[in-house]
Structure 1
Amino acid sequence: MINRYEKAPKPVYDELLKLVHDRDYFVLTTNVDHQFQLAGFDKERLFYTQGDYGLWQCSEPCCQKTWDNEETVRRMVSEQRDMRVPTELVPHCPVCGKPMTMNLRCDNTFVQDEGWYAAYSRYEDFLRRHGNAKVVYLELGVGGNTPVIIKYPFWKMTYQNANAFYICINLSESCCPKEIQARAVCINRDVGATLHELCL
Protein backbone atom coordinates (compact mmCIF):
# COMPACT_ATOMS: atom_id res chain seq x y z
CA MET A 1 0.00 0.00 0.00
CA ILE A 2 2.73 2.45 1.01
CA ASN A 3 5.05 1.45 -1.86
CA ARG A 4 2.47 1.88 -4.62
CA TYR A 5 -0.77 3.61 -3.68
CA GLU A 6 0.28 6.36 -1.27
CA LYS A 7 1.70 9.54 -2.69
CA ALA A 8 5.29 10.49 -1.82
CA PRO A 9 5.51 12.80 1.23
CA LYS A 10 7.64 15.38 -0.60
CA PRO A 11 6.61 17.33 -3.74
CA VAL A 12 9.55 16.14 -5.88
CA TYR A 13 7.42 14.50 -8.59
CA ASP A 14 4.89 17.34 -8.61
CA GLU A 15 7.66 19.90 -9.09
CA LEU A 16 9.30 17.87 -11.84
CA LEU A 17 5.95 17.77 -13.64
CA LYS A 18 5.68 21.57 -13.35
CA LEU A 19 9.02 21.84 -15.16
CA VAL A 20 8.16 19.48 -18.05
CA HIS A 21 4.37 19.50 -18.40
CA ASP A 22 4.36 21.71 -21.52
CA ARG A 23 7.32 19.96 -23.15
CA ASP A 24 7.57 16.87 -25.33
CA TYR A 25 8.88 14.64 -22.54
CA PHE A 26 9.18 10.94 -21.86
CA VAL A 27 10.02 9.26 -18.54
CA LEU A 28 12.21 6.18 -18.38
CA THR A 29 12.43 4.93 -14.80
CA THR A 30 13.64 1.98 -12.77
CA ASN A 31 11.29 2.97 -9.92
CA VAL A 32 8.37 0.59 -9.44
CA ASP A 33 6.21 2.75 -7.17
CA HIS A 34 4.39 4.72 -9.91
CA GLN A 35 4.96 8.05 -8.18
CA PHE A 36 5.17 9.66 -11.62
CA GLN A 37 1.63 8.55 -12.39
CA LEU A 38 0.35 9.54 -8.94
CA ALA A 39 1.78 13.05 -9.54
CA GLY A 40 -0.15 13.36 -12.81
CA PHE A 41 2.41 12.44 -15.46
CA ASP A 42 0.76 11.14 -18.65
CA LYS A 43 0.73 7.32 -18.42
CA GLU A 44 1.44 7.11 -22.16
CA ARG A 45 4.76 8.90 -21.55
CA LEU A 46 6.05 6.51 -18.89
CA PHE A 47 8.13 3.34 -19.14
CA TYR A 48 8.65 1.42 -15.90
CA THR A 49 11.39 -0.96 -17.00
CA GLN A 50 11.68 -2.86 -13.73
CA GLY A 51 8.02 -3.59 -13.03
CA ASP A 52 5.11 -2.21 -11.06
CA TYR A 53 4.16 -2.79 -7.40
CA GLY A 54 0.56 -2.37 -8.56
CA LEU A 55 0.68 -5.60 -10.55
CA TRP A 56 0.83 -9.23 -9.54
CA GLN A 57 2.25 -12.00 -11.66
CA CYS A 58 2.43 -15.75 -11.29
CA SER A 59 5.43 -16.71 -9.15
CA GLU A 60 6.24 -19.57 -11.54
CA PRO A 61 5.51 -17.77 -13.97
CA CYS A 62 3.18 -19.91 -16.04
CA CYS A 63 2.33 -17.08 -18.47
CA GLN A 64 3.38 -13.56 -19.49
CA LYS A 65 0.40 -11.86 -17.87
CA THR A 66 -0.06 -9.48 -14.94
CA TRP A 67 -3.07 -8.59 -12.80
CA ASP A 68 -3.97 -5.30 -11.13
CA ASN A 69 -3.79 -5.61 -7.34
CA GLU A 70 -5.17 -2.31 -6.02
CA GLU A 71 -8.58 -3.56 -4.91
CA THR A 72 -7.12 -6.59 -3.11
CA VAL A 73 -4.28 -4.62 -1.51
CA ARG A 74 -6.74 -2.06 -0.15
CA ARG A 75 -8.91 -4.87 1.23
CA MET A 76 -5.82 -6.50 2.80
CA VAL A 77 -4.98 -3.26 4.58
CA SER A 78 -8.51 -2.68 5.83
CA GLU A 79 -9.07 -6.28 6.93
CA GLN A 80 -5.68 -7.16 8.42
CA ARG A 81 -5.54 -8.03 12.11
CA ASP A 82 -2.36 -8.71 14.09
CA MET A 83 -0.30 -8.31 10.89
CA ARG A 84 -2.31 -11.01 9.11
CA VAL A 85 -4.73 -10.83 6.21
CA PRO A 86 -7.68 -13.15 5.60
CA THR A 87 -6.59 -16.32 3.80
CA GLU A 88 -9.01 -15.73 0.93
CA LEU A 89 -7.16 -12.49 0.07
CA VAL A 90 -3.80 -14.25 -0.47
CA PRO A 91 -3.41 -14.04 -4.26
CA HIS A 92 -3.11 -17.10 -6.48
CA CYS A 93 -2.59 -17.21 -10.24
CA PRO A 94 -5.95 -17.50 -12.02
CA VAL A 95 -4.26 -19.60 -14.73
CA CYS A 96 -2.32 -22.25 -12.78
CA GLY A 97 -3.25 -21.65 -9.11
CA LYS A 98 0.33 -21.03 -7.88
CA PRO A 99 0.99 -18.14 -5.49
CA MET A 100 1.24 -14.68 -7.02
CA THR A 101 4.16 -12.31 -6.51
CA MET A 102 4.92 -8.68 -7.28
CA ASN A 103 5.75 -7.76 -10.86
CA LEU A 104 9.31 -6.79 -9.98
CA ARG A 105 12.51 -7.52 -11.90
CA CYS A 106 14.53 -9.27 -9.22
CA ASP A 107 15.33 -12.59 -10.93
CA ASN A 108 14.60 -14.51 -14.15
CA THR A 109 10.88 -14.88 -13.36
CA PHE A 110 10.02 -11.24 -14.21
CA VAL A 111 6.99 -10.99 -16.49
CA GLN A 112 7.08 -8.50 -19.36
CA ASP A 113 3.41 -8.35 -20.31
CA GLU A 114 1.66 -6.55 -23.18
CA GLY A 115 1.62 -3.30 -21.19
CA TRP A 116 5.40 -3.50 -20.67
CA TYR A 117 6.03 -4.02 -24.39
CA ALA A 118 3.63 -1.22 -25.34
CA ALA A 119 5.47 1.22 -23.04
CA TYR A 120 8.82 0.03 -24.41
CA SER A 121 7.56 0.65 -27.95
CA ARG A 122 6.44 4.20 -27.05
CA TYR A 123 9.87 4.89 -25.52
CA GLU A 124 11.66 3.59 -28.64
CA ASP A 125 9.39 5.76 -30.80
CA PHE A 126 10.24 8.81 -28.69
CA LEU A 127 13.97 8.12 -29.09
CA ARG A 128 13.55 7.61 -32.85
CA ARG A 129 11.69 10.90 -33.25
CA HIS A 130 14.35 12.79 -31.25
CA GLY A 131 17.45 11.00 -32.52
CA ASN A 132 19.07 14.10 -34.05
CA ALA A 133 16.83 16.78 -32.58
CA LYS A 134 17.49 19.18 -29.73
CA VAL A 135 16.93 17.05 -26.66
CA VAL A 136 17.87 17.09 -22.99
CA TYR A 137 18.61 13.80 -21.27
CA LEU A 138 17.79 14.54 -17.64
CA GLU A 139 19.04 11.91 -15.21
CA LEU A 140 17.77 12.18 -11.65
CA GLY A 141 19.26 10.14 -8.83
CA VAL A 142 20.47 7.17 -10.88
CA GLY A 143 23.03 5.19 -8.92
CA GLY A 144 25.40 2.37 -9.72
CA ASN A 145 22.84 -0.42 -9.27
CA THR A 146 21.50 -0.46 -12.84
CA PRO A 147 23.48 2.12 -14.87
CA VAL A 148 22.93 0.21 -18.13
CA ILE A 149 19.24 1.18 -18.17
CA ILE A 150 19.45 4.98 -17.92
CA LYS A 151 22.92 6.40 -17.20
CA TYR A 152 25.02 4.69 -19.90
CA PRO A 153 22.40 4.98 -22.67
CA PHE A 154 21.92 8.70 -21.89
CA TRP A 155 25.69 9.23 -22.15
CA LYS A 156 25.80 7.35 -25.45
CA MET A 157 22.81 9.17 -26.98
CA THR A 158 24.26 12.52 -25.93
CA TYR A 159 27.59 11.62 -27.52
CA GLN A 160 25.93 10.51 -30.78
CA ASN A 161 23.71 13.59 -31.16
CA ALA A 162 25.46 16.96 -31.44
CA ASN A 163 22.15 18.65 -30.55
CA ALA A 164 21.74 16.71 -27.30
CA PHE A 165 22.50 17.94 -23.79
CA TYR A 166 22.95 15.78 -20.67
CA ILE A 167 22.01 16.89 -17.15
CA CYS A 168 22.61 14.77 -14.07
CA ILE A 169 21.36 15.70 -10.61
CA ASN A 170 22.56 13.31 -7.93
CA LEU A 171 23.62 13.79 -4.34
CA SER A 172 26.67 11.56 -4.61
CA GLU A 173 27.04 10.12 -8.14
CA SER A 174 26.82 13.07 -10.51
CA CYS A 175 29.35 12.56 -13.30
CA CYS A 176 29.75 12.08 -17.03
CA PRO A 177 32.49 10.98 -19.43
CA LYS A 178 34.90 13.59 -20.76
CA GLU A 179 33.60 13.04 -24.30
CA ILE A 180 30.33 14.84 -23.47
CA GLN A 181 31.49 17.32 -20.80
CA ALA A 182 31.08 20.28 -23.17
CA ARG A 183 27.36 19.40 -23.49
CA ALA A 184 26.68 18.34 -19.92
CA VAL A 185 25.92 19.70 -16.48
CA CYS A 186 26.49 17.50 -13.42
CA ILE A 187 24.97 18.76 -10.19
CA ASN A 188 26.01 17.15 -6.91
CA ARG A 189 22.93 18.05 -4.89
CA ASP A 190 19.72 16.63 -3.54
CA VAL A 191 17.23 16.14 -6.40
CA GLY A 192 14.25 17.44 -4.41
CA ALA A 193 15.99 20.61 -3.26
CA THR A 194 17.29 21.33 -6.75
CA LEU A 195 13.90 20.86 -8.45
CA HIS A 196 12.23 22.99 -5.78
CA GLU A 197 14.62 25.88 -6.49
CA LEU A 198 14.03 25.55 -10.23
CA CYS A 199 10.28 25.88 -9.64
CA LEU A 200 10.60 29.15 -7.70
Structure 2
Amino acid sequence: MARKYDLISELYNRTCKTVVSNPQNWQAFLASACRNYKLRYDEQLLVYAQRPDATAVLEIEQWNKIFGRWVNRGARGIAVFADENRSRQRLTHYWCRYIYINRYTDAPKPVYQNLHDLVKEKDYFVLTTNVDHCFQKSGFDKNRIFYTQGDYGLFQCSEPCHKETYDNEEAIKKMVLSQGFQIKDGELQKPEDGEIKLTVPTGLIPYCPHCGKPMSMNLRSDQTFVEDDGWHQAAERYEKFIQDHKKQKIVFLELGVGYNTPGIIKYPFWQMTNKFQHAFYVCLNRGEAYAPDEIRRKSVCMNEDIGEVLKEL
Protein backbone atom coordinates (compact mmCIF):
# COMPACT_ATOMS: atom_id res chain seq x y z
CA MET A 1 0.00 0.00 0.00
CA ALA A 2 2.85 2.39 0.86
CA ARG A 3 4.45 1.69 -2.51
CA LYS A 4 1.19 2.54 -4.30
CA TYR A 5 0.89 5.76 -2.33
CA ASP A 6 4.45 6.71 -3.26
CA LEU A 7 3.73 6.08 -6.95
CA ILE A 8 0.62 8.25 -6.85
CA SER A 9 2.52 10.99 -4.99
CA GLU A 10 5.27 10.90 -7.59
CA LEU A 11 2.70 11.13 -10.41
CA TYR A 12 0.97 14.02 -8.65
CA ASN A 13 4.20 15.95 -8.09
CA ARG A 14 5.34 15.40 -11.66
CA THR A 15 1.97 16.50 -13.06
CA CYS A 16 1.95 19.64 -10.88
CA LYS A 17 5.13 20.75 -12.60
CA THR A 18 4.03 19.65 -16.07
CA VAL A 19 0.75 21.56 -16.19
CA VAL A 20 2.45 24.88 -15.38
CA SER A 21 5.46 24.36 -17.65
CA ASN A 22 3.83 26.12 -20.60
CA PRO A 23 0.46 27.69 -21.57
CA GLN A 24 -0.53 24.75 -23.76
CA ASN A 25 -0.23 22.25 -20.90
CA TRP A 26 -2.17 24.52 -18.56
CA GLN A 27 -4.98 24.93 -21.10
CA ALA A 28 -5.10 21.17 -21.65
CA PHE A 29 -5.39 20.63 -17.88
CA LEU A 30 -8.20 23.20 -17.62
CA ALA A 31 -10.07 21.49 -20.46
CA SER A 32 -9.92 18.24 -18.49
CA ALA A 33 -10.70 19.83 -15.11
CA CYS A 34 -13.81 21.66 -16.35
CA ARG A 35 -15.40 18.32 -17.22
CA ASN A 36 -14.98 17.18 -13.62
CA TYR A 37 -15.24 20.51 -11.82
CA LYS A 38 -16.69 19.04 -8.60
CA LEU A 39 -13.55 17.04 -7.89
CA ARG A 40 -10.82 18.32 -5.58
CA TYR A 41 -7.84 19.95 -7.25
CA ASP A 42 -5.52 17.02 -6.48
CA GLU A 43 -8.09 14.64 -7.96
CA GLN A 44 -8.42 16.79 -11.09
CA LEU A 45 -4.64 16.65 -11.55
CA LEU A 46 -4.53 12.87 -11.17
CA VAL A 47 -7.47 12.40 -13.54
CA TYR A 48 -5.68 14.57 -16.09
CA ALA A 49 -2.47 12.55 -15.64
CA GLN A 50 -4.22 9.20 -16.17
CA ARG A 51 -7.34 9.83 -18.24
CA PRO A 52 -7.40 13.41 -19.59
CA ASP A 53 -10.43 12.58 -21.77
CA ALA A 54 -12.57 11.40 -18.82
CA THR A 55 -15.96 13.11 -18.77
CA ALA A 56 -17.47 11.64 -15.58
CA VAL A 57 -15.46 10.33 -12.64
CA LEU A 58 -17.12 8.73 -9.61
CA GLU A 59 -16.36 6.09 -7.01
CA ILE A 60 -17.39 2.55 -7.94
CA GLU A 61 -20.17 2.52 -5.32
CA GLN A 62 -21.77 5.61 -6.83
CA TRP A 63 -21.75 4.13 -10.33
CA ASN A 64 -23.25 0.87 -9.05
CA LYS A 65 -25.79 1.99 -6.47
CA ILE A 66 -26.84 5.50 -7.52
CA PHE A 67 -26.65 5.40 -11.30
CA GLY A 68 -27.12 1.69 -11.90
CA ARG A 69 -24.05 1.60 -14.15
CA TRP A 70 -22.47 -1.59 -12.87
CA VAL A 71 -18.71 -1.68 -12.86
CA ASN A 72 -17.00 -5.00 -12.30
CA ARG A 73 -14.59 -5.06 -9.41
CA GLY A 74 -11.08 -5.32 -10.69
CA ALA A 75 -11.78 -3.07 -13.66
CA ARG A 76 -9.09 -0.49 -14.23
CA GLY A 77 -9.84 2.81 -12.52
CA ILE A 78 -8.15 6.15 -11.83
CA ALA A 79 -5.93 6.32 -8.76
CA VAL A 80 -6.45 9.26 -6.39
CA PHE A 81 -5.53 10.02 -2.79
CA ALA A 82 -7.84 8.60 -0.14
CA ASP A 83 -6.42 10.60 2.79
CA GLU A 84 -8.60 13.71 2.99
CA ASN A 85 -6.15 15.60 5.22
CA ARG A 86 -3.26 15.04 2.82
CA SER A 87 -5.52 16.03 -0.08
CA ARG A 88 -6.39 19.25 1.71
CA GLN A 89 -2.68 19.97 2.16
CA ARG A 90 -2.17 19.60 -1.58
CA LEU A 91 -5.26 21.64 -2.45
CA THR A 92 -4.15 24.43 -0.12
CA HIS A 93 -0.64 24.51 -1.60
CA TYR A 94 -2.12 25.38 -4.99
CA TRP A 95 -4.73 27.88 -3.87
CA CYS A 96 -2.46 29.84 -1.52
CA ARG A 97 -0.09 30.59 -4.40
CA TYR A 98 -2.99 31.39 -6.70
CA ILE A 99 -4.50 33.77 -4.15
CA TYR A 100 -1.20 35.48 -3.39
CA ILE A 101 -0.35 36.12 -7.04
CA ASN A 102 -3.81 37.28 -8.06
CA ARG A 103 -4.81 39.18 -4.91
CA TYR A 104 -1.63 40.46 -3.29
CA THR A 105 0.60 41.36 -6.23
CA ASP A 106 0.11 44.22 -8.67
CA ALA A 107 -1.43 43.74 -12.11
CA PRO A 108 1.24 43.37 -14.83
CA LYS A 109 -0.15 46.22 -16.95
CA PRO A 110 -1.34 49.74 -16.00
CA VAL A 111 -4.90 49.23 -17.26
CA TYR A 112 -6.55 49.83 -13.89
CA GLN A 113 -4.37 52.85 -13.13
CA ASN A 114 -5.23 54.38 -16.51
CA LEU A 115 -8.92 53.81 -15.88
CA HIS A 116 -8.61 55.40 -12.44
CA ASP A 117 -6.89 58.46 -13.92
CA LEU A 118 -9.81 58.78 -16.34
CA VAL A 119 -12.57 58.79 -13.70
CA LYS A 120 -10.98 59.90 -10.42
CA GLU A 121 -12.26 63.48 -10.70
CA LYS A 122 -15.75 62.31 -11.66
CA ASP A 123 -18.72 60.97 -9.74
CA TYR A 124 -18.29 57.26 -10.44
CA PHE A 125 -19.18 53.84 -9.11
CA VAL A 126 -17.59 50.46 -9.98
CA LEU A 127 -19.69 47.34 -10.34
CA THR A 128 -17.45 44.32 -10.93
CA THR A 129 -17.44 40.54 -11.02
CA ASN A 130 -13.64 40.52 -10.65
CA VAL A 131 -12.40 39.07 -7.36
CA ASP A 132 -8.74 40.15 -7.52
CA HIS A 133 -9.19 43.56 -5.85
CA CYS A 134 -7.27 45.33 -8.64
CA PHE A 135 -9.64 48.30 -8.60
CA GLN A 136 -8.94 49.13 -4.96
CA LYS A 137 -5.20 48.42 -5.32
CA SER A 138 -5.11 50.94 -8.18
CA GLY A 139 -6.55 53.76 -6.10
CA PHE A 140 -10.31 53.46 -6.55
CA ASP A 141 -12.30 54.46 -3.48
CA LYS A 142 -13.39 51.25 -1.71
CA ASN A 143 -16.72 52.88 -0.88
CA ARG A 144 -17.39 53.26 -4.60
CA ILE A 145 -16.84 49.58 -5.47
CA PHE A 146 -19.23 46.63 -5.32
CA TYR A 147 -17.46 43.27 -5.67
CA THR A 148 -20.52 41.16 -6.43
CA GLN A 149 -18.78 37.79 -6.68
CA GLY A 150 -16.52 37.89 -3.64
CA ASP A 151 -12.87 38.51 -2.89
CA TYR A 152 -9.77 36.30 -3.07
CA GLY A 153 -8.63 38.11 0.06
CA LEU A 154 -11.39 36.67 2.25
CA PHE A 155 -12.01 33.26 3.80
CA GLN A 156 -15.41 31.98 4.82
CA CYS A 157 -16.75 28.80 6.39
CA SER A 158 -17.20 26.21 3.64
CA GLU A 159 -20.46 25.00 5.17
CA PRO A 160 -21.23 27.93 5.84
CA CYS A 161 -22.39 27.93 9.44
CA HIS A 162 -22.38 31.73 9.75
CA LYS A 163 -22.31 34.85 7.57
CA GLU A 164 -18.87 36.27 8.37
CA THR A 165 -15.71 36.54 6.29
CA TYR A 166 -12.08 36.73 7.40
CA ASP A 167 -9.09 38.58 5.96
CA ASN A 168 -6.56 36.02 4.75
CA GLU A 169 -3.44 38.02 3.82
CA GLU A 170 -1.25 36.94 6.73
CA ALA A 171 -2.42 33.32 6.50
CA ILE A 172 -1.71 33.19 2.76
CA LYS A 173 1.78 34.67 3.23
CA LYS A 174 2.61 32.03 5.86
CA MET A 175 1.44 29.27 3.52
CA VAL A 176 3.54 30.34 0.54
CA LEU A 177 6.59 30.90 2.76
CA SER A 178 6.14 27.39 4.21
CA GLN A 179 6.53 25.97 0.70
CA GLY A 180 9.97 27.52 0.34
CA PHE A 181 9.08 30.69 -1.53
CA GLN A 182 10.55 34.05 -0.62
CA ILE A 183 8.68 37.34 -0.85
CA LYS A 184 10.74 40.24 -2.18
CA ASP A 185 9.13 43.57 -3.05
CA GLY A 186 5.78 41.85 -2.88
CA GLU A 187 6.67 39.22 -5.49
CA LEU A 188 7.05 35.47 -4.97
CA GLN A 189 10.52 34.14 -5.70
CA LYS A 190 11.73 30.56 -5.75
CA PRO A 191 14.52 29.57 -3.35
CA GLU A 192 18.04 29.29 -4.74
CA ASP A 193 17.93 25.48 -4.74
CA GLY A 194 14.66 25.64 -6.70
CA GLU A 195 12.93 23.08 -4.48
CA ILE A 196 9.28 23.92 -3.70
CA LYS A 197 7.13 21.86 -1.36
CA LEU A 198 3.83 20.76 -2.86
CA THR A 199 1.97 20.75 0.45
CA VAL A 200 1.50 23.11 3.37
CA PRO A 201 1.76 22.13 7.06
CA THR A 202 -1.53 20.95 8.52
CA GLY A 203 -1.25 23.64 11.18
CA LEU A 204 -1.61 26.36 8.53
CA ILE A 205 -4.78 24.96 6.93
CA PRO A 206 -7.64 27.27 7.95
CA TYR A 207 -10.69 25.91 9.73
CA CYS A 208 -13.90 27.64 10.78
CA PRO A 209 -13.59 29.05 14.33
CA HIS A 210 -17.25 28.17 14.99
CA CYS A 211 -17.95 24.70 13.56
CA GLY A 212 -14.46 23.43 12.72
CA LYS A 213 -15.19 22.76 9.04
CA PRO A 214 -12.53 23.76 6.48
CA MET A 215 -12.51 27.39 5.38
CA SER A 216 -12.95 28.23 1.71
CA MET A 217 -12.47 31.33 -0.40
CA ASN A 218 -15.28 33.86 -0.45
CA LEU A 219 -16.15 33.28 -4.10
CA ARG A 220 -19.58 32.86 -5.62
CA SER A 221 -19.48 29.39 -7.15
CA ASP A 222 -22.55 27.78 -5.57
CA GLN A 223 -25.17 28.30 -2.84
CA THR A 224 -22.53 28.35 -0.07
CA PHE A 225 -21.28 31.86 -0.99
CA VAL A 226 -21.41 34.18 2.01
CA GLU A 227 -22.85 37.65 1.48
CA ASP A 228 -21.48 39.32 4.61
CA ASP A 229 -22.29 42.76 6.06
CA GLY A 230 -19.68 44.40 3.84
CA TRP A 231 -21.24 42.83 0.75
CA HIS A 232 -24.71 44.12 1.64
CA GLN A 233 -23.42 47.59 2.48
CA ALA A 234 -21.70 47.81 -0.91
CA ALA A 235 -24.89 46.62 -2.63
CA GLU A 236 -26.85 49.36 -0.88
CA ARG A 237 -24.31 52.03 -1.87
CA TYR A 238 -24.49 50.92 -5.51
CA GLU A 239 -28.29 50.97 -5.50
CA LYS A 240 -28.28 54.43 -3.91
CA PHE A 241 -25.85 55.68 -6.57
CA ILE A 242 -28.16 54.46 -9.34
CA GLN A 243 -31.23 56.01 -7.75
CA ASP A 244 -29.46 59.33 -7.16
CA HIS A 245 -28.27 59.55 -10.78
CA LYS A 246 -31.01 57.96 -12.86
CA LYS A 247 -32.49 61.33 -13.83
CA GLN A 248 -29.10 62.87 -14.55
CA LYS A 249 -26.64 62.38 -17.38
CA ILE A 250 -25.02 59.01 -16.73
CA VAL A 251 -22.65 56.81 -18.74
CA PHE A 252 -22.72 53.06 -18.33
CA LEU A 253 -19.19 51.96 -19.25
CA GLU A 254 -18.91 48.22 -19.84
CA LEU A 255 -15.36 46.92 -19.97
CA GLY A 256 -14.75 43.36 -21.11
CA VAL A 257 -17.93 41.78 -19.72
CA GLY A 258 -18.55 38.33 -21.17
CA TYR A 259 -21.54 36.00 -21.16
CA ASN A 260 -20.64 33.94 -18.11
CA THR A 261 -22.70 36.18 -15.80
CA PRO A 262 -24.31 38.79 -18.10
CA GLY A 263 -27.18 39.32 -15.67
CA ILE A 264 -24.94 41.20 -13.23
CA ILE A 265 -23.52 43.99 -15.43
CA LYS A 266 -24.30 43.68 -19.14
CA TYR A 267 -28.06 43.15 -19.15
CA PRO A 268 -28.82 45.66 -16.34
CA PHE A 269 -26.69 48.28 -18.14
CA TRP A 270 -28.71 47.72 -21.33
CA GLN A 271 -31.99 47.94 -19.41
CA MET A 272 -31.08 51.11 -17.53
CA THR A 273 -29.73 52.78 -20.68
CA ASN A 274 -33.08 52.07 -22.34
CA LYS A 275 -35.10 53.22 -19.32
CA PHE A 276 -33.20 56.33 -18.17
CA GLN A 277 -33.77 59.33 -20.44
CA HIS A 278 -30.26 60.80 -20.16
CA ALA A 279 -28.29 57.54 -20.00
CA PHE A 280 -25.61 56.54 -22.52
CA TYR A 281 -23.96 53.14 -22.97
CA VAL A 282 -20.29 52.58 -23.91
CA CYS A 283 -19.05 49.05 -24.58
CA LEU A 284 -15.31 48.44 -24.88
CA ASN A 285 -15.00 44.72 -25.44
CA ARG A 286 -12.78 43.04 -28.03
CA GLY A 287 -14.76 40.34 -29.81
CA GLU A 288 -18.04 41.10 -28.03
CA ALA A 289 -18.71 44.81 -28.57
CA TYR A 290 -22.47 44.93 -29.05
CA ALA A 291 -25.55 46.95 -28.16
CA PRO A 292 -29.20 45.92 -28.75
CA ASP A 293 -31.21 47.77 -31.39
CA GLU A 294 -33.34 49.42 -28.68
CA ILE A 295 -30.36 51.43 -27.36
CA ARG A 296 -28.14 51.63 -30.43
CA ARG A 297 -28.74 55.37 -30.87
CA LYS A 298 -27.59 55.86 -27.25
CA SER A 299 -24.51 53.64 -27.52
CA VAL A 300 -20.92 53.48 -28.66
CA CYS A 301 -19.30 50.06 -29.09
CA MET A 302 -15.57 49.56 -29.65
CA ASN A 303 -14.17 46.20 -30.65
CA GLU A 304 -10.71 47.05 -29.32
CA ASP A 305 -8.22 46.16 -26.60
CA ILE A 306 -9.18 47.91 -23.35
CA GLY A 307 -5.60 48.71 -22.39
CA GLU A 308 -4.76 50.25 -25.74
CA VAL A 309 -7.87 52.44 -25.80
CA LEU A 310 -7.39 53.70 -22.24
CA LYS A 311 -3.81 54.72 -23.03
CA GLU A 312 -5.15 57.04 -25.74
CA LEU A 313 -7.84 58.72 -23.62
Q: TM-score, normalised by structure 2?
A: 0.63
Question: How far did residue 78 of structure 1 move?
Answer: 1.4
Aligned partners of 1:121 and 1:80: how far apart in 2? Answer: 41
SS at structure 2 position matched to 1:137: strand
How big is each residue's C-alpha offset from its partner over 1:132-191, in whole Å with a ceiling of 9 and x where there is no partner? 110000000000111100000000111111211100000111101111111100000111
Kindly indicate whether residue 281 of structure 2 is the aligned counterpart of residue 182 of structure 1: no
Counterpart of 1:2 (choices 93, 101, 104) is 101
Kindly indicate whether residue 116 of structure 2 is the aligned counterpart of residue 17 of structure 1: yes
Counterpart of 1:42 (choices 124, 141, 153) is 141
Aligned partners of 2:307 and 2:235: how far apart in 1? Answer: 27
AA paired with 2:165?
T
SS at structure 1 position matched to 2:146: strand
How big is each residue's C-alpha offset from its partner over 1:73-108, in whole Å with a ceiling of 9 and x where there is no partner? 011111214122222110000111100000000011
Aligned partners of 1:89 and 1:24: how far apart in 2? Answer: 43
RMSD: 0.7
SS at structure 1 position matched to 2:103: coil
Identity over the aligned pairs, expressed in percent?
61
Question: How far did residue 30 of structure 1 move?
Answer: 0.2
Aligned partners of 1:174 and 1:84: how far apart in 2? Answer: 43
Cross-structure match for 1:56: 155
Question: How far did residue 36 of structure 1 move?
Answer: 0.2
Aligned partners of 2:270 and 2:247: how far apart in 1? Answer: 14
Unaligned runs of 5+ in 1: none
Counterpart of 2:172 (choices 60, 66, 73) is 73
1:118-197 alignment runs, 5 A limit: 118-197=233-312
Unaligned runs of 5+ in 2: 1-99, 181-196
Aligned partners of 1:89 and 1:4: how far apart in 2? Answer: 19
AA paired with 1:119?
A
Aligned partners of 2:235 and 2:206: how far apart in 1? Answer: 27
How big is each residue's C-alpha offset from its partner over 1:100-133, in whole Å with a ceiling of 9 and x where there is no partner? 0000000110000000000000000100101111
SS at structure 2 position matched to 1:192: helix
Cross-structure match for 1:115: 230
SS at structure 2 position matched to 1:180: helix
Aligned length: 198
Cross-structure match for 2:207: 92
Aligned partners of 1:80 and 1:40: how far apart in 2? Answer: 31
Which portions of structure 1, spanning 4 or more consecutive aligned residues, are displaced by more than 6 angstroms?
A: none
Question: How far did residue 53 of structure 1 move?
Answer: 0.4
Larger radius of gyration: 2
Aligned partners of 2:105 and 2:201: how far apart in 1? Answer: 22
Aligned partners of 1:195 and 1:62: how far apart in 2? Answer: 44
AA paired with 2:232?
Y
Q: Comparing both structures, which one devotes a greater share of its residues to strand?
A: 1
